[in-house]
Amino acid sequence: MFQIKDKIYWVGIKDWELRRFHGDEYSTHRGSTYNSYLIKDQKIALVDTVWTPFHMEYVEELDKKYGLKNIELIVIQHCEQDHAGSLAYLMDKIPNIPIYCTKKGSEMIRKHFHKDWNLIPVKTGDSVDLGEMKLIFIEAPMLHWPDTMMTYVQGANVLLSNDPFGQHFASPHFYNDQVDQGELYQEALKYYANIITPFNKLVKGKIKELKSLNLPIDIIAPSHGIIWRDNPMQIVEKYDQWASNYHEGSVVILYDTMWGATKRMALAIAKGLEEAGIPTRVLNIAKSDKMILSPRYLKPRV
Ligand SMILES: [Fe+2]
Ligand SMILES: [Fe+2]
């Protein structure tokens, strides 16, 4: 439980020991966090929950600290289980409260949970008044699933961005200005490469749309990792750059091989590139992590 802004609390879980995400797909050497947020205005709203294995400690802590019966609405921005995994346990305790989600989200929640919950589909621009603050919803389909949306907290200038702008990075700190910038950007870029890259075109469009809304943004609070409060738009600019055919002037050759012949070809290509003065890395995909190995991050730190 940590106050990130007046009346807005981080109520998530820090998963220090996560080493693989999405099954075995993605290595997470710095763990991760499942960021859930509670907005305590005249009405109390809960935005997203946490991954299923943590459902009990998450819900019990919420109850102890805020009282589950005081929560008046839930927003599920994305129903993948790292964000909605505690929903069934939570809803068993407060079964009648409304759940705001996208139209796609309502279909997917029904298919995932098979429960007759009070789902309220919303679209971009729809809002809920909490008293002094207002939640304004912004659909973000495919960033990361068809159901994904973001929530802008008007009155606090906070954008709860769900998967976009996140990182798998557990830290004792909460904010981007408190952590090592190399580590932060390594994790943000790796996250982008593994989760967001297939949707580059949609990223460009969503950033354009976000900018056109002209929302004052003091904080971007994603659903994983560190919260952006120091120049929060820096990560938006980075996404814009990463979505635009991003490269750093080097080449990574990925290969797999049974008896070494393909490896010899890979090394021959690398040799040619190196002779042309192009920094090159050669990776056996059966042995290497699926991640971006940026030469920038391989330089020794001083
Ligand atoms: Fe996701
Ligand atoms: Fe996620």
Q: What pLDDT digit, counting tens, does each position of 182-200 carry? A: 999 999 999 998 999 989 9
**Between 287 and 202, the higher pLDDT residue:** 202
Burial of 149-160, coded b for 16+ CB within 10 Å and e otherwise, reads bbbbbbbbebbb
Active site annotation includes 224 = yes
Whether residue 99 has pLDDT greater than 70: yes
Among all chains, which residue has been given the structure tokens 């996250």? 191
pTM (two decimals): 0.92
Active site annotation includes 78 = yes
What is the band of 285 on the pLDDT scale with cuts at 50, 70, 90? confident
Active site annotation includes 139 = no
Which is the catalytic residue, given 147, 192, 224, 239?
A: 224
Ligand 2 centroid from CA 162, angstroms = 7
What is the band of 300 on the pLDDT scale with cuts at 50, 70, 90? very low
Kindly state the tokens that stand for 223: 């659903």
Nearest ligand to residue 223 Cα:
2
Ligand 1 centroid from CA 267, angstroms = 36
Determine how many CB atoms are found less than 10 A away from the CB of residue 235.
Answer: 24
Alpha-helical regions (H) of the chain? 55-66, 81-84, 87-93, 103-113, 181-191, 200-212, 233-242, 261-275, 295-298
Whether residue 301 has pLDDT greater than 60: no
Residues forming beta bridges with residue 46, ordered by sequence position: 38, 74
Strand ranges for 103-157 from DSSP E: 119-122, 127-129, 134-139, 149-154
Which is the catalytic residue, given 82, 139, 147, 187?
A: 82
Ligand 2 centroid from CA 58, angstroms = 16
DSSP string covering 228-247:
B-SSTHHHHHHHHHHTTT--
Active site annotation includes 80 = yes
Q: Residue range 27-35: average pLDDT?
A: 96
What's residue 302's pLDDT? 36
What is the band of 234 on the pLDDT scale with cuts at 50, 70, 90? very high
Q: Where are the domains of the chain?
A: 2-242, 251-297
Whether residue 102 has pLDDT greater than 80: yes
Active site annotation includes 247 = no
Active site annotation includes 191 = yes
Active site annotation includes 163 = yes
Ligand 1 centroid from CA 302, angstroms = 35
Ligand 2 centroid from CA 223, angstroms = 6
What's residue 290's pLDDT? 67
Query: Which strand ranges, in their side-by-side order, compose the sheet holding 99-102?
Result: 2-5, 8-10, 37-40, 44-47, 71-75, 99-102, 119-122
Q: Residue range 145-151: average pLDDT?
A: 98
What pLDDT digit, counting tens, does each position of 48-69 carry?
Answer: 999 999 999 999 999 999 999 9
Give the C-alpha separation, 73 to 271, whole Å.
Answer: 60
Options 3.40.50.620, 3.60.15.10, 3.20.20.70, 3.30.70.100; CATH for 2-242 is: 3.60.15.10
Active site annotation includes 112 = no
Give the C-alpha separation, 246 to 239, whole Å.
Answer: 10
What pLDDT digit, counting tens, does each position of 237-251 carry?
Answer: 999 999 998 888 899
Which is the catalytic residue, given 15, 34, 58, 144?
A: 144
Which is the catalytic residue, given 22, 60, 173, 177?
A: 22
Q: Residue range 17-42: average pLDDT?
A: 95
**Between 246 and 159, the higher pLDDT residue:** 159
Give the C-alpha separation, 283 to 267, whole Å.
Answer: 10
Give the C-alpha separation, 36 to 14, whole Å.
Answer: 11
